Each structure stands twice: as C-alpha cells, then as structure tokens.
Amino acid sequence: MDAGVRGARVLITSRVVEQSPSALARLAAAGCTVVDNPDGGRIGRDALSRLLAATEGLIVGTQRVDAAMFAQASTLRVIVKAGAGVDNIDLDAAAARGVEVAATAGANAEAVADYVFALLLAVARRVTDADRSVRAGRWERFTGVDVCRKTLGIVGLGHVGRAVARRASGFAMRVLAVDVRYDDAFLREHRVMPVALDDLLAQSDFVSLHLPFLPASGAFLDRERIARMKPGAIVINTARGALVDERALADALRDGRLAGAGLDVFEAEPPGDTPLRTAPNVVLSPHNASYTRESMEHVAATAVDLTLEMLSATRGHSTR
C-alpha cells in the first residue's frame, strides 16, 4: 500500500460521499481511516475546524473552509470538493499552507444539464402553475411559450454548458454562447455560435448560467445586464446563486420585462425571505440539480479517486 495513503485520516463532510457505501469501502481498502463525523454534511464551522486539526484529507461539500481553519489544520494535505465549484474554499490560504485542492468537475454534468431543461420546460410551459391548479380542484389552461426553435444563450461552456448545448439540438434551438475560450471543434459539431455577452443577452429567449462566482466581481446578472436582456426572456440558474441579483430579477419579473425564471441556487441557502418567493412564474428548487442516483455515485467515486491520487502524490508532505 502507498505510504502516502496508508493510515491517512480522511474527513468527509459531503453528504453525497458519506452516503456511498462503495466510496467508503474504497477508502478503507486503500488503508485510509475515515474520521468520525457524527454531524455528516450538517457539520458546523467549529466542529469542522476541530476535526481538521488531525486530518490529512478532506472531502468537502458546501461547507466553507476559510483561512482561520487552514491555520489550525497543520496536518491537512489535500481537499477534494464533491462538486464542481471551489468557491467555498479559500484557495489563497490553501496555497499558502501547501494544501492541494481539486474538485469533481464534470462528474455531475449530465444530471445538471438534464435539470436545466427540466427547469426550462417547467417555466416555459408553466408546469408548476398547472400542477397547483389541478391539486386545488380547478381546471384551468395556462398559456406558455414554445421551446422548440427558440434561441438559447449559454454563459459558460464548461462541462455542464456543453452538455446543455448538446441537449438543445434536440429542440432545434439556436444556441449562442459566451466563454473565455472556445473549443472550435465542439462549436462546429453542435452548431454553437460564440458571441459577445451583450448580443447573447439581447437575442436569447432563454439564458442559462454555467460559470463560477467570483466575489470580487459581484452578481453577474445584475440590474444593468437584466435590463439589456430580450423582453420576455427566461433565466435559468443551476450554477451559483450569487451570480444573480435576486431583487433585480424579482423586479424584472413583476414588471413583466422578463417572462420567468428557473432557479436551483440562491444568494443564501436556504433562501429565506428572498423576493423571488413571491415573484410571478418562478420555479424554485433546493440546489437539487445534481441529485440523481447515478450522478451521486459518480461524484462520490470520483471524489475518492482524486483523494487517493492526491494523498499518494503528497506523501511525506506536512503543512506544519
């Protein structure tokens, strides 16, 4: 057994990984010790900080890992995020302490892309309005909008953005995209047109966000950009809640400038008293896009594989 892995203590705060028997068995077979964490994915900051003080590897969910925690985690060598983004980890503090950080990017992309279209269709065809009406004993008609042959704007052509673009072809959609770099072969194969952001906002019937949140930049879809969107457009966000100015979006929905929104993520989670709760034609979801049996098992397996690889690569390393 690799000396960098055998006996390594691994703390798991990701609900997806902690609930995967095969992932836990893989860690045990490699000779790792799983640190007892009775709170699981609900672990609080103080408990997480305390357990990190005697941990070599962390498989983290959405919990924040900040500079103060790194200062106490003298044995920590690797962190693997069971998910796509690492915005809950202070990367500068990790680098200063020599802690390697990775994420299971792409492991849940297909599940999230399916959910993008679930939200998109639910909003466009007012599925949740119809459901509530029938449950209340009424029999009403709800006029929605077509999805077929409409224009879809994808902001961010990473793993999920590309998976969404592939699905859009089945609806004969015109697909526009904005990213910092492009895969020309992918663009040609799936007939995706790279455009400037202003053009995407002005032309898209649906805008789907697939990019990381950068705190220094603030909300990506702020009041100014919302004002530049095509009248009657629909916003879909399965990436990060802070990408969208929730009050500005709610205002645009109430005044009829935008037709709807499908949101799986929020500025604060749970979202509390967000104005989107009472905005018209909004489908709200509890950060659920990646939660399929297949996707969760893939994420868990990928997280464990990355953890073992990184522990092996950092053998002999200490942050003391």
CATH number, position 274? 3.40.50.720
- Same domain (yes/no): 155, 269: yes
Percentage of the chain lying above the pLDDT 70 cut: 97
Q: Is 125 a catalytic residue?
A: no
- Same domain (yes/no): 154, 256: yes
Domain tally, the chain: 2
Residue 318 inside a domain? The answer is no
- Same domain (yes/no): 127, 199: yes
- Same domain (yes/no): 239, 274: yes
pLDDT given at position 128: 97
Token pair for 138: 């009424």
pLDDT given at position 33: 94
Q: Is 287 a catalytic residue?
A: yes
Residue 241 inside a domain? The answer is yes
Residue 320 inside a domain? The answer is no
3-state class percentages of the chain: helix first, strand second, coil last, to nearest 5: 40, 15, 45
pTM (2 decimals)? 0.89
Token pair for 47: 């408990």
- Same domain (yes/no): 266, 119: yes
Per-residue pLDDT of 75-100, as tens digits, reads 999 999 998 889 899 999 999 999 99
Structural domain range at position 93: 9-107+293-313
Q: Catalytic residue among 240, 246, 267, 298, which? A: 240
Per-residue pLDDT of 174-215, as tens digits, reads 999 999 999 999 999 999 999 999 999 999 999 999 998 887
Per-residue pLDDT of 99-154, as tens digits, reads 999 999 899 999 999 999 999 999 999 999 999 999 999 999 999 999 999 999 99
pLDDT given at position 263: 98
- Same domain (yes/no): 120, 261: yes
CA end-to-end distance (rounded Å), the chain: 25
- Same domain (yes/no): 141, 279: yes
Residue 3 inside a domain? The answer is no
Residues 228/257, Cβ–Cβ less than 8 Å: no
pLDDT at 58 exceeding the cut of 50: yes
**H or E stretch covering 135:** helix 127-135
pLDDT at 304 exceeding the cut of 50: yes
- Same domain (yes/no): 124, 100: no
Q: Is 269 a catalytic residue?
A: yes
pLDDT greater at residue 313 or residue 206: 206
pLDDT at 32 exceeding the cut of 90: yes
**H or E stretch covering 192:** strand 192-194
- Same domain (yes/no): 27, 56: yes
Q: Average per-residue pLDDT in the chain?
A: 94
- Same domain (yes/no): 184, 222: yes
Q: Taking residues 285-292, what's their average pLDDT?
A: 95
pLDDT given at position 316: 56
Per-residue pLDDT of 212-251, as tens digits, reads 888 778 999 999 999 999 999 999 999 999 999 999 999 9
Q: Which residues pair with 208 in a beta bridge?
A: 154, 236
Residue 1 inside a domain? The answer is no
pLDDT given at position 1: 47
Q: Catalytic residue among 77, 162, 287, 298, which? A: 287
- Same domain (yes/no): 98, 122: no
Q: Catalytic residue among 140, 189, 269, 294, which? A: 269
pLDDT at 287 exceeding the cut of 60: yes
- Same domain (yes/no): 205, 98: no
288-291 contacts at long range (C-beta below 8 A, 24 or more positions apart): 288/115, 288/264, 289/108, 289/111, 289/112, 289/115, 289/116, 289/238, 289/264, 290/83, 290/108, 290/111, 290/112, 290/115, 291/111
What band does 2 get if pLDDT is binned at 50, 70 and 90? Answer: low
pLDDT at 320 exceeding the cut of 60: no
